[in-house]
Amino acid sequence: MKARVLTQRSQSLFGAMGGWRTVAEIFASRVVFLIAYLLTGQVWFSALAAVGAVVVFVVVRVWADRKYWQALAALVMVGISALLAGGTGQGINFYLTDIVRNVGAAVVLAVSMLVRWPFIGLLVGAARGERLGWRQDRAKRRRYQACTGVFLTKFTLAPLVMTPFYLAGQVVALGITATLVGTPAIAVCVYFSWRILRVRA
């Protein structure tokens, strides 16, 4: 397969996952909160710093791409995290949404695999302009099932790793773990999925 086609496939998959701006927003909010908390020990200040970081990315996204709903979704998510942490005075609650989001994603992915409508196939098929045409190709369905399985593994393991730190109230350990099993883990999933999708039946 030509390198150009491989590049297009990887870009389609990455675009379906939200692209670089979404990755940057998620990563930035978690890292900024953790750094601010380590430096000040103040939950509200750290939460507001995380919100401020995402606001910068949101403004850039809206100005450059006019993608209002994507920008709003990112801001709402970090806003909820900030309110949970600030409202309770517990830094661990900033990462509670990460645990809930991972559990929810795992359920959706698992169901999509069970009913043989793999979620990654729906996302990537839409990004490539295939719509539902890929469902007529058995090899593609099999590969999209495998890709969905890769992401299901990530979204299942992430809350299992984070929950013990949350229950123990270990903010720093939870923050580091949530950061590692977030964007970096998604990047690994995207890479392995790209490897799966590059193979011809």
**Other CB atoms within 10 A of residue 91 CB:** 24
Average pLDDT for 33-39: 95
List the domain boundaries for the chain. 3-197
Residue type, position 46, single letter: S
Report the interhelical angle of 171-180 vs 183-197 (nearest 10°): 20
In this predicted model, what pLDDT tens digit does every residue of 165-184 receive, in sequence order? 999 999 999 999 999 998 88
Instruction: State the maximum Cα–Cα separation within the chain, in Å, rounded to a whole number.
Output: 56
The more confidently predicted of residues 37 and 5 is 37
Q: What is the DSSP letter of 41?
A: -
Cα angle at 20 between 195 and 120, to 5 degrees?
A: 45
In this predicted model, what pLDDT tens digit does every residue of 87-130 receive, in sequence order? 999 999 999 999 999 999 999 999 999 999 999 998 888 777 77
Q: pLDDT band for position 153 (50/70/90)?
A: very high
- The pLDDT value recorded for residue 26 is 74
Distance CA 49, CA 56 (A): 11
- Say yes or no to pLDDT of 192 above 60: yes
In this predicted model, what pLDDT tens digit does every residue of 69-86 receive, in sequence order? 666 777 888 899 999 999
Q: What is the DSSP letter of 93?
A: G
C-alpha 148, offset from chain centre: 14
- The pLDDT value recorded for residue 66 is 66
- The pLDDT value recorded for residue 6 is 40
- Say yes or no to pLDDT of 17 above 50: no
